[in-house]
Structure 1
C-alpha cells in the first residue's frame, strides 16, 4: 500500500534534493520516503521547470 503525501511535502522534499549536495537516496532515507518515489517527484519537477505543476 502506498502512502499519499501532500503537495507541500513533495515540494519541500524536491527543494531539499535540488538545494543540497546529498544523493536522492540519502534525502529519501532522512524523510522516510522511497527513493523511487522521490526520484519521480524530482523528475516531474525538472520536466515542468518554470511552471507550478499540481501536486508538487
Structure 2
C-alpha cells in the first residue's frame, strides 16, 4: 500500500505496470455482472512483475 500511495503522491513510480491494472479491471468487471450468466474471456496480458526489493 505504501508503494501505491507514494506513486499517487508523485514521490515514486508504481511497482505495477498499467497493463497489469487493465488486466485486473478486465477480470473484475465480469464479476460485477456474474448474475447475467455470461462467460468472460480475458484478452489482456501483462509481463511478469519483478518482486519488491524487500522480497528478494
TM over 0.5: no
Higher relative contact order (CA 8 A, sep 6+): 1
Q: Which has the larger radius of gyration?
A: 2
Indicate the structure with greater helix content. 1
Give the alignment's TM-score, normalised by structure 2.
Answer: 0.31
